[in-house]
Homo-oligomer: A and B are copies of this chain.
Amino acid sequence: VVINPTPSYSKVYDPTMSNPIKEFMDVFPVIAEELLAHLRSLNIPQNAIEWFDRSMRYNVLGGKMNRGLTVAETLRILKRGEPLSEEEIFKANLLGWCIEWLQAFFLVSDDIMDDSKTRRGQPCWFRVEGVGNIAINDAFILESAIYFFLKKHFRKDSYYVDLIELFHETTYQTELGQLLDLITAPEDNVDLNKFSIEKHSFIVIYKTAYYSFYLPVALAMHMAGVKDEAAFKQAEAILLPLGEYFQVQDDYLDCYGNPETIGKIGTDIEDNKCSWLINQALDIASAEQRKILDENYGKRNEANVKAVKEVYVELGIEGRFKAYEEESYVRINALIEKVDHPLLSQDVFTSFMKRIYKRTK
């Protein structure tokens, strides 16, 4: 394993980036320095500070930052175009970074549990020379940073406790989704009897939708001063189905997307993933087709993968996805049209839908 250069701030910072992205990126060096200054105040030895800094940059930076950017974007919509103050911009983007830190915590540990090779085009953190299982503790530290930031910047706000509880609950939901995923689809013990459409739905909503879709919007709602539980419930009722639809697309693209467009070659079949596709296939397969799936799913061999894909073709799984995509579009848009809470705006949700519908990457 080669030590890749740690992605530095200057590497991800592009002076031509649009304003919202620049505003978001500008927050990173400020809050990274807050963490480091605190460490220095504890007199922790220098080698630990360097390790901490390297882990943070390696694992927090380098992603698409969609989740992080969504907080300020949503806050702008909720404030109906009223310009945000500098403080609001900073704080919304700080909350966005907290999601990116949370995701780093999840990804570092998920890669260990999945025994993955690469992440964002570089070796997984635990594969970097000298890191290994220390990455587990590094993941913990990434999570702790969230509450350090919240305390530092939101302690005096009326919604401080709400932010903390929201991060706790979202973290717990994600861990529960991860638990079901891990025991349903262990890579070393393929058993398609464990799969079901219901389990797929639970895994996807808990493991992905809460932290990727609901969390950024709910954070922005807290900043906008929303206190009414009914408004949060309305947002959740749309964002969880949206997140589920997004993940089903992810499962579809893993098999049928263009590797050049999506930037990787899908391996869900080899990895025994509890994907939407296999669950659809299991639901309608004949005894004979089921046998082929049982014998070939979760194996790292081209011939096995081909056999599974042939069953998918026989069963018209691609067509089922297209139908699901249309049905989801109609169903979720109908939900969006019913949004009537005075503190919400349908635009929050349509902007998600626009980015997602029929996406190819």
Q: Which residues of A contact B (CB under 8 A)?
A: 39, 42-45, 47-48, 51-52, 109, 112-113, 115, 130, 133-134, 136-138, 140-141, 144, 147-148, 151, 160-161, 164-165, 168, 171-172, 175-176, 178-180, 182-184, 186, 189, 194, 198-199, 202, 206
Contacts and interface: CB of A to CB of B under 8 A. Distances in A.
A158 to B, nearest CB: 12
Given A134-B182, A183-B134, A175 B47 contact: no
Contact of A113 (B134, B144, B171): B134
Contacts of A147: 165, 168, 172
B171 A144 contact: yes
B113 A176 contact: no
B113 A175 contact: no
A134 B182 CA distance: 7
A172 B141 contact: yes
Contacts of A202: 43-45
B109 A175 contact: no
A172 to B, nearest CB: 4
A282 to B, nearest CB: 16
B136 A109 contact: yes
Contact of A112 (B133, B160, B180, B183): B133
Given A51-B183, A109-B140, A112-B136, 16 more contacts: A39-B176, A44-B202, A45-B180, A48-B179, A109-B136, A112-B133, A113-B134, A134-B179, A136-B136, A137-B178, A140-B175, A140-B178, A141-B179, A147-B168, A147-B172, A151-B168
